[in-house]
Structure 1
């Protein structure tokens, strides 16, 4: 982001921009004393984004291993630790990835592609339910799943339906925030870059204010959407920045941990239970989620990720892994009773490995079926663009 030399009222903006670049006392996510510096632009695909997305996808598998089949033997404190790298990091990455296109149309197409893959998964899932668990099947319930409404009782694969709350939230956040970014960019087309950054920062403040205002509201869905809008926009705004020194990272983590502990004490909560703070998300989950984001921004400065990295491959196919883990996590309920008695860390490790392997195999199956349909969809879109 180049330094701006505005004319009228530009002295203040120029000084502000210089401050953001050069000062050792920066403001990042409301935290002082952290120097955040611009990152050199990369050419081609950013494999670090794929790496982070893959890491987050793998951790979702770990989370669901701990919270579903592990609910009876995994302690709450360990379950909460797994949530430090969770869905907010996905949205942060999505906002960062959007900075490469800055296209509202591409965001819409991405939503359509995502739902196409989800529909393919649903067709397979419906056939499985019809064949193996007829009591759960009905035409009405099969239709409802297209809109993310799954049955609540007598389920063969209980983790599947409970995993897909993420997709409608992602659709809303992706369309809403990408629309805001494109609108601000167009309104700032004839102005300098500092005006555009300030407007986007105002949008970030608005989302934060709206989220905090709904802390005690009964409208949990709106609160959830606003919460993840914050992380999407934060990812976009920090696309060219990283945390340069370990001491700045430690300072930020210290503030986030203090905020996390303060919220636990002031709210009268018993112990470190992030799951209760996740639905709907509150300030405790907000502080916890910033820990993973800060670490990602620190590692960003020296990360050199090869295209052959296994996490990169998982990141490129993260949606398939996300859909597949619901099935694999559910199958653990049938496997655990057949395992020998083990200490909980050993049992969890065995279950996590089984879940990871099962998810990877199912993700490969989904990819094999869905990829030809996605290529057909891309050809149709390309043909329409040529005739337009």
Structure 2
């Protein structure tokens, strides 16, 4: 190899290494986008749960055009390629943090759930109910009458099942992602597995979820990794062209294949190629805006506060996701009451505002108490030393 070609190869490798290196500084744009996305998740659960009684199906289905699939893409985007052992260590650490936080919050909910159970059934939860509750917390399930008090919390658990299960499948794929050719092979293989799983029912249980969910969301996750590694090699106008093609494909699905009926919920559980096409729309938006909109460090006080608020939501999206399951369950008990006194649009706005405000308040309060608790423990340990 000539010295010029060798130097060019080294320069290209340096660029790839710089792109793949995850900075310790948080990406403000990514946190901002995650903040918008988690607030939209609250909207989804508003229209799909309490809104089931008064919001039309097309509106509810269309709300799924913005959905949690993009969270998987972002997680992949923020993941640095590593070997098999290092990937497993990282996955286990993340699993431990997410799992312990979920268990802690679930146990803290027990007094409120017991009170809700008593008010509904006029009975105190017995030992059998308590055992079912404890086992369900450990297994990340939510069966039984006690959990029935907050059905949205139970309905949101599927995301945790998929994500936590995916953590133990990803290291095998991530370890192959250090080569560009292997990245293409892995992504294509996942699409093939997804096709066979859907077409020929090649599906089976995998930890807390099913294989079809692993294939689908592993593809999205690794697509985010591939974009982080190779996206700098693709010009922005190609992403715009890809976005246009994506829109045309979705229009074809809507007008031709589905006869002007949008049924994203059915395509989401389990995920299909139609759902993949619709999900890629928001991923394109994320990528294109990241390139054309230089995320501002705004000097305008109100704009800066708004961006800071959304970044806070993005940083704490996991806790917001858990607590929205609790808060979004409350309007279910007051739907008929409000519909008898307000119009449908007013009821929708009242419930949406309630769900967003109280979810954020509960999350903020929990995080402050948690921080104070750990500070207190640290202070006592330092005094003992």
Relative to structure 1, the CA distance from residue 270 to residue 305 in structure 2 (aligned partners, 3 Å threshold; closer, same or farther) is same
Q: Check conservation: 1:51, 1:305, Cα contact below 8 A.
A: no
| 1:121 correspondence with 2:105 | yes
Relative to structure 1, the CA distance from residue 274 to residue 89 in structure 2 (aligned partners, 3 Å threshold; closer, same or farther) is same
Q: How does 1:125-274 map to 2 (within 5 A)?
A: 125-134=109-118, 137-151=129-143, 155-185=148-178, 196-216=179-199, 217=201, 219=203, 221-239=210-228, 241=231, 245=236, 248=238, 251-264=241-254, 271-274=261-264
In 2, Cα distance between equivalents of 1:284 and 1:72:
27
Deviation at residue 351 of structure 1 after TM alignment: 1.4
In 2, Cα distance between equivalents of 1:200 and 1:152:
43
Relative to structure 1, the CA distance from residue 287 to residue 145 in structure 2 (aligned partners, 3 Å threshold; closer, same or farther) is same
What is the Cα-based RMSD across aligned positions, in Å? 3.4
Partner residue in 1 for 2:327 = 328
- Which of 276, 300, 305 is the matching residue for 1:286? 276
Q: Greater helix share, 1 or 2?
A: 2
Partner residue in 2 for 1:35 = none
Indicate the SS of the match to 2:25: coil
Deviation per CA, 1:244-275: give whole Å up to 9, x if none: 65x65554333223323434566556611211
- Which of 304, 310, 313 is the matching residue for 2:295? 304
Relative to structure 1, the CA distance from residue 151 to residue 94 in structure 2 (aligned partners, 3 Å threshold; closer, same or farther) is same
Indicate the SS of the match to 1:74: coil
Q: Check conservation: 1:65, 1:352, Cα contact below 8 A.
A: yes
Partner residue in 1 for 2:300 = none
In 2, Cα distance between equivalents of 1:255 and 1:377:
55
Relative to structure 1, the CA distance from residue 5 to residue 72 in structure 2 (aligned partners, 3 Å threshold; closer, same or farther) is farther
Q: Check conservation: 1:122, 1:146, Cα contact below 8 A.
A: no
Q: Check conservation: 2:81, 2:175, Cα contact below 8 A.
A: no
In 2, Cα distance between equivalents of 1:126 and 1:41:
39
TM (norm. structure 1) is 0.76
Paired residues in the alignment total 339
- Which of 28, 31, 55 is the matching residue for 1:47? 28
Q: Check conservation: 2:187, 2:219, Cα contact below 8 A.
A: yes
Q: How does 1:2-151 map to 2 (within 5 A)?
A: 44-99=25-80, 103-104=86-87, 105-134=89-118, 137-151=129-143
Relative to structure 1, the CA distance from residue 226 to residue 377 in structure 2 (aligned partners, 3 Å threshold; closer, same or farther) is farther
